[in-house]
A and B are shown apart, each in its own frame.
Chain A
Amino acid sequence: KNEVEQSPQNLTAQEGEFITINCSYSVGISALHWLQQHPGGGIVSLFMLSSGKKKHGRLIATINIQEKHSSLHITASHPRDSAVYICAVWGYNFNKFYFGSGTKLNVKP
Chain B
Amino acid sequence: DSGVTQTPKHLITATGQRVTLRCSPRSGDLSVYWYQQSLDQGLQFLIQYYNGEERAKGNILERFSAQQFPDLHSELNLSSLELGDSALYFCASSVGGRDNSPLHFGNGTRLTVT
Which A residues are within 8 Å of any B CB, using their own CB?
A: 30-31, 33, 35, 41-45, 48, 50, 86, 88, 90, 95-102
Which B residues are within 8 Å of any A CB, using their own CB?
A: 2, 33, 35, 42-45, 55-58, 88, 90, 92, 98-105, 107-108, 110
Q: How far is the CA of A35 from the CA of B90 in the complex (A)?
A: 13
When the two chains form their complex, are residues A90 and B42 in contact, meaning their CB atoms are under 8 A apart? no
When the two chains form their complex, are residues A48 and B107 in contact, meaning their CB atoms are under 8 A apart? no
When the two chains form their complex, are residues B42 and A96 in contact, meaning their CB atoms are under 8 A apart? no
B44 proximity list for chain A (CB < 8 A): 99
Number of A-B contacts (CB under 8 A): 56
B2 proximity list for chain A (CB < 8 A): 44
Most buried by A among B35, B58, B88, B99: B99
When the two chains form their complex, are residues A97 and B45 in contact, meaning their CB atoms are under 8 A apart? yes
When the two chains form their complex, are residues B58 and A43 in contact, meaning their CB atoms are under 8 A apart? no
A48 proximity list for chain B (CB < 8 A): 101-103
B33 proximity list for chain A (CB < 8 A): 97
Which of B43, B92, B100 touches A99 (beta carbons < 8 Å)?
A: B43
